[in-house]
Amino acid sequence: MDVVDTFAEEAARVVVSLPRIDRIFSSPLMRCASLADFVGEQTGLSPIRDDRLIEMDFGRWEMQAWGDLPRHELDAWANDFLDARPHGGESVAELTARTRAAISDLNIPDTHTLIVTHAGVIKAAFAALGGDHHYRSTVSYGGHVTLLEHRPRSAPS
């Protein structure tokens, strides 16, 4: 999926709204990678691609309108939201586990990290840190959220 015609203008607004960042990690998919590259050019940082930040694998549901999906598959997913995979792709639990691993690996004390990723991964990050109820939250298309986790350095011995 291509970026929109107003990408540079919108990305410039993102850059000026950012707090201090020390590192940039990004999904390798085009929209996220394009934004990460733009931010990198403006900040002098080199974005690092991480496959764990790719959106959830929806299997045969990919690129389909919700209204076109088989009702029985949607019902199966709704009845076992965390573990069902009626689309043949990734379960929400699998997405959360991969996101949790990425957050754990990328979280370095006293380092400000920008992660450019997708709505499903953002919800999985919230769920990994605060519980499954965050999957019911909404992440606006093209929006951003700030996720803070303070992990102080170990006390000197």
- Inform me whether the pLDDT recorded for 138 exceeds 90: no
pLDDT, tens digit (0-9, with 9 covering 90-100), for 102-131: 998 988 888 889 999 998 898 898 888 776
Does residue 83 form part of some domain? no
Q: What is the CATH number of the domain that holds 20?
A: 3.40.50.1240
Query: What amino acid occupies position 32?
Result: C
For 132, the domain range is 7-56+92-136
Does residue 29 form part of some domain? yes
Query: What amino acid occupies position 65?
Result: A
Contact call for residues 128 and 120 (beta carbons, < 8 A):
no
- Return the H-helix or E-strand segment holding 95: helix 92-106
List the single range of 26-35, 56-65, 142-151 with lowest mean pLDDT: 142-151
Does residue 19 form part of some domain? yes
Does residue 154 form part of some domain? no
pLDDT, tens digit (0-9, with 9 covering 90-100), for 64-97: 999 999 999 999 999 998 899 999 999 999 999 9
Count of structural domains within the chain: 1
